[in-house]
Amino acid sequence: MLDERVNLIELTAPECMLVQDGRVSSNRCFQMRLGEKDDSGRPRPIRIEGSEFELQADSVITAIGQRVNADFFPDGKLEIDPVSHETQISNVFAGGDAARGASTLINAIGDGKHVAESIISRAAEERGIDDALFSRTVDLNLLRVAKGRRQPGTPTPEIGFDERSGFTMVINTLDEQTAREEAARCLLCDEICSVCVSVCPNRANVEFQMEPLSYTVQRAVKNGSSVDIVSLGSEQISQKYQIINLGDFCNECGNCATFCPTSGAPYQDKPKFHISEESYNAAVYGYWFSAENRLEYKNNGEHAVLQTESDGFSYEDQDCRAVLNSDYSVYSAEIKTGKNSVDMQRAVLMAVLSQTVGGLDLFTMVSRGD
């Protein structure tokens, strides 16, 4: 923009458009100054009285956001499946600001990728294509070398300044060879990132590996004197490389949030495990292996216990008791409260964590008393 002599006026707030002879003539603005910080930590802009001025204009382009036009959806309401991003209209998907409200570009790009994955998965299933054709493997040794080297990108091809007077695209597309070279710079952050592991000064973020898996999302529903197990769909954990946060070592400095390339906050987002009973008792939230094959969980007064059995898992919280098969499906459930239904997602998640995290050395040594 600066190269094209577009002036950026900072600390300025528009007030109104002025019209003369039926056409816009100028934009009345006020200069602003930065005041005290608000609750978010950002200084609030304050109008400087008597600083108004006019920006002459003959054309105005509004860029203050758009509303989602959802009148063609049932009841004029846009509803989106949180996993597939599919709307109420079959094979119509949505993401970005339409689904999230005002958000970031990276979130919109991520939604687009998830939609593409949903479409590919559905097309492969309908046509009997093996999903393995779309999978990729990661060579850890080559990836470590790539992450240790700085490889500058190719300059973006742009047209000259003298050609930018119309609607010709300013940024051109890459040729095939250059595009391949750019793609080769990818560090596969969607497969293995672990930036939060390297930037944590207390080594509170721990990487572990697990095999991708899928499980059935189920709900226990009262049916007279019995309880039915209703399947609601399936979930998939596709990433092999995962992160947990250790409450014993984490002081919630936020360093991992600062450096997270996906705008996450690992110390808050990732499962928080406690190695010692003392750390678990002092915490409001987290998981703790209180004994071999026994995982406990608490969150703001809620409490759950999962016991690994020879042929599956037994689970209990304040709302229900349940027995899970070794494939994480619910075999039976008992609702303890007056609720008509209980989601079994927490039980399944604890079972998955018990099997994947429980085998890490730092927990097996504790259970042995090493």
Q: Give 139-154 pLDDT, tens digit per residue.
A: 888 888 888 888 899 8
Pair 309, 323 in one domain: yes
Pair 250, 345 in one domain: yes
Tell me if 353 sits within 8 A of 287, measured CB to CB: yes
Q: What's the confidence (pLDDT) of residue 240? A: 87
78 falls within a domain: yes
Pair 298, 351 in one domain: yes
Please state, in angstroms and rounded to a whole number, the distance separating the CA atoms of residues 318 and 336.
Answer: 7
Structure tokens of 336? Answer: 């303890």
Most confident of 5-19, 181-195, 298-312: 298-312
Per-residue pLDDT for 369 more than 60? no
Pair 345, 201 in one domain: yes
Range with the poorest average pLDDT among 4-13, 64-73, 344-353: 64-73
What pTM does this model have?
A: 0.66
Pair 204, 319 in one domain: yes
62 falls within a domain: no
157 falls within a domain: yes
61 falls within a domain: no
∠ at Cα 81 (75, 83), nearest 5°?
A: 175
Tell me if 216 sits within 8 A of 225, measured CB to CB: no
| 3-state helix, strand and coil shares in percent for the chain, rounded to the nearest 5 | 25, 30, 45
Pair 233, 174 in one domain: no
Out of 153, 183, 213, a domain closes at 183
342 falls within a domain: yes
Reported as a pLDDT band with limits 50, 70 and 90, residue 304 is very high
* pLDDT, mean of residues 240-268: 93
Q: H or E stretch including 218?
A: strand 213-223
93 falls within a domain: yes
Q: Which of 286, 310, 309, 312 is nearest to 297 (CA)?
A: 286
Q: H or E stretch including 342?
A: strand 341-343
Phi and psi at 365, nearest 5°, equal -65, -40
Reported as a pLDDT band with limits 50, 70 and 90, residue 64 is low
Q: Which of 82, 26, 358 is nearest to 208 (CA)?
A: 358
- Determine what percent of the chain is predicted with pLDDT higher than 90: 58
Pair 208, 109 in one domain: no
Pair 19, 107 in one domain: no
* pLDDT, mean of residues 252-257: 95
End-to-end C-alpha distance for the chain, whole angstroms: 62
- The residue range of the domain holding 144 is 140-183
Tell me if 205 sits within 8 A of 245, measured CB to CB: yes
Q: What's the confidence (pLDDT) of residue 65? A: 62
Pair 235, 147 in one domain: no
Q: What's the confidence (pLDDT) of residue 342? A: 95
295: exposed, middle or buried (Cβ count in 10 Å: 0-12, 13-18, 19+): buried
Q: How many residues does the chain have?
A: 370
Domain count, the chain: 4
pLDDT in tens, 313-328: 999 999 999 999 999 9
3 falls within a domain: no
Pair 155, 271 in one domain: no
Please state, in angstroms and rounded to a whole number, the distance separating the CA atoms of residues 264 and 283.
Answer: 21
Pair 96, 243 in one domain: no
Pair 152, 80 in one domain: no
Q: What's the confidence (pLDDT) of residue 167? A: 85
At 56 the three-state DSSP class reads strand
Structure tokens of 20? Answer: 């003369």
190 falls within a domain: no
322: exposed, middle or buried (Cβ count in 10 Å: 0-12, 13-18, 19+): buried
